[in-house]
Structure 1
Amino acid sequence: MDQSIVERILTRDRVIVIGAILLGVTASACFILSGAGTGMSSFDMSLDTGPAGALIGDMPDMIMPMVWTPGYAVVIFFMWWLMMVAMMVPSAAPTILLYGALNRDRGAWGPLEFLSGYLVVWAAFSLVATVAQGLLSASGLVSAMYMNLATPYLAAAVLIGAGLYQLSPVKAACLDHCRGPVEALTRHRRTGRAAAFRMGLIHGLYCLGCCWALMSLLFVGGAMNLWWIVGIALYVALEKLAPGGKRMAQVMAAVLLVAGLAMLARPLGIV
């Protein structure tokens, strides 16, 4: 086959993959902006609470707790999952495209299958987050209006826990994987049927190990708080892609620990 034809096919495949990623991220972001099917406006909630979030800003919860029917649980699951798509796929896109470049014989299907495996992992995380939110809501520990933890003690525990996890060997190993995609894709290379999907699962598990504690911060700022959604997504991208990302993880650990201790001190009357 003529070399120019091969190059055109490869370029077309890359455009298809990039287009699919952009479409998925954009559609997910629009869904979150529209309220994610909850009947509440993420814009209004974010304007009300500001960057601090409802708990930190002492915002009162002005609606009754939601009744957790199976249908509402499905809505909350998709809220979490599509939020993860919007937040996590942009920082994973270079690895997805690299997989396509290293496996050109698969065309556009290979990286898209890789992406589907990656998203399955975040669907599992979203299911856990939905169950956690449901249990906390049933106990009156989550604001029905702002979807954040309603007690500073729990919020402080999440902040401190996330800060300590930033310093853990598991976090460091997972961040190394995410920051070194060439080595990671070579070391975890799979062959045979569904190879791309299985590699997507592996990358997704490392990504989850790197970022699950950061995603739990949405329980502090509010699951629909756009300030926290955008801020965490940008930080995750910088931690994975920017020079000095490992040092950033250590700095973020200090920030989270200080924030957690400060929040813990407030109800005790220390600050």
Structure 2
Amino acid sequence: MAPTLQRYIILALLIAIAAAAWSLLIWEQMGMDADMRMEMYALTMGMKAPLFLAVWMIMMIAMMFPTAAPMILTFHQVQAGKQGRGETFVSSWVFVAGYMLVWGVMGVIAFAGAAGAEMLAGRVGLSTATAARIGGALLMIGGAYQLSPLKDLCLAKCRTPIGFILTSWRDGYWGAVRMGLEHGLFCLGCCWLLFLALFPLGIMNVAAMAVVTLLIFAEKTLPSGGGIAKVSGIALLLYGAAVLVFPQALPTFQPVGAITMN
């Protein structure tokens, strides 16, 4: 099979898998009744660890496959060249497996943090206004990170697939897994506080997920990606500050009663 055709097939599969994940998330949200929507605002969405992690991975597939596509296709292009020279060929999906492992571990950490925060909030009887203001502070932290040198460093690695390949190439299957892990860590360095911002906005808030996905894609692929990251950082700082003053500005704000999280 011609390398160009292989690239098109891989790209089509990435788009199809991401589209299926988005469809599943939208279908799940549309099928929620009022009680389920209230649970959606909880940090763990009212889910036990296995279900939370399953939903988390679907979210990561939906959000990260489109943004990781240029790197995956570049990896395949190099592997196709090696195959043409009679060298060992490693499937791009081995690289993807290493990449997704990073997001799986992040999901475990996210659940542990969310469950711990819910338990603490329940014990101290945290008011909804205070919880919203904590969410506003998280948004501001995310905005500040968007303006940080570490964000710039990680984003530079994600914006230049060829540069990453030249500096981080490893041969063989385990080499591909290691490359996937390394690229996943750089990607995590770019995006982790944007994902943290989803918790105060609603972890299953499809609109917020779509905005974050478009933002990450723009940062990584557009010529003005670095500037877009800065503008988004300022926007998060301003929005977080507004939530500190007006907690009702947060979509997950619940106006009646204290937060009770199970």
Question: Would you tell me which structure has more helix in proportion to its own residues?
Answer: 2
Letter in 1 for 2:17: G
Indicate which of 27, 30, 36 corresponds to 1:43. 30
SS of equivalent to 1:224: coil
Structure 1 runs of 4+ aligned residues shifted over 4 Å read 60-69, 106-109
Match of 1:242 in 2: 222
Indicate if the aligned counterparts of 2:140 and 2:241 stay in contact, CA closer than 8 A.
Answer: yes
Map Cα deviations across residues 147-188 of structure 1 (whole Å, 9 max, x no partner).
x99812211111111011111111110000011111111111
Larger relative contact order, structure 1 or 2 (CA cutoff 8 Å, min sep 6): 2
What is the correspondence of 1:105-116 to structure 2 with a 5 Å cutoff? 105=82, 109-116=90-97
Letter in 1 for 2:72: I
- Cα drift, residue 34 of structure 1: 3.2
RMSD over equivalenced CA pairs, Å: 3.1
Extract unaligned runs of 5+ from structure 2.
123-127, 248-262
Match of 2:182 in 1: 202
- Cα drift, residue 63 of structure 1: 9.7
Letter in 2 for 1:258: L
Q: What is the CA–CA distance in structure 2 between the aligned matches of 1:66 and 1:90, rounded to whole Å?
A: 26
- Cα drift, residue 193 of structure 1: 4.0
What is the correspondence of 1:3-14 to structure 2 with a 5 Å cutoff? 8-14=1-7
Q: What is the CA–CA distance in structure 1 between the aligned matches of 2:57 and 2:227, rounded to whole Å?
A: 29
- Cα drift, residue 214 of structure 1: 0.6
Map Cα deviations across residues 24-78 of structure 1 (whole Å, 9 max, x no partner).
313322332232xxxxxx1366x99xxxxxxxxxxx9489989999x82110111
- Bigger CA drift: 127-136 or 181-190? 127-136
Match of 2:146 in 1: 166
Match of 1:54 in 2: none
| Residue 82 (structure 2) pairs with residue 101 (structure 1) | no
Letter in 2 for 1:116: A
Indicate which of 133, 136, 141 corresponds to 1:153. 133
SS of equivalent to 2:91: helix
Indicate which of 18, 24, 32 corresponds to 2:25. 32
Identity %: 31
Q: What is the CA–CA distance in structure 1 between the aligned matches of 2:136 and 2:179, rounded to whole Å?
A: 36
Indicate if the aligned counterparts of 1:162 and 1:256 stay in contact, CA closer than 8 A.
Answer: yes
- Bigger CA drift: 125-134 or 212-221? 125-134
| Residue 63 (structure 2) pairs with residue 83 (structure 1) | no
Extract unaligned runs of 5+ from structure 1.
1-7, 36-41, 49-59, 142-147
